[in-house]
Amino acid sequence: MEAERSIEVNIFEFDREIYGETIQLLFIKLLRADSKFSDLESLKNQLQIDKELSLQVLAGIKR
């Protein structure tokens, strides 16, 4: 029996309830490997770094 797969996505500047909805994701670049964090503050710091890097990557995409 195959386990259900899931992914967490941070949608910047988005404030709507979409749990249970279907969305389409495009994978542009792997930012980092999976990580475990020792505390909440470390996680928050990494999420901020991830956001900044994501915005830099997306800014380089021609639309």
Do residues 57 and 29 lie in contact, with contact meaning Cβ atoms separated by under 8 Å? Answer: yes
pTM: 0.74
Least confident of 6-10, 40-44, 54-58: 6-10
Q: What domain range includes position 56?
A: 1-63
Both tokens of 47, joined, read: 């999420």
In this structure, what token pair is assigned to residue 11? 């949608």
- The answer, yes or no, to whether residue 63 has pLDDT greater than 70, is no
Condensed to tens digits (0 to 9), the pLDDT of residues 25-54 reads: 999 999 999 899 999 999 999 999 999 999
- How many domains, in total, are found in the chain? 1
Residue for token pair 């999420």: 47
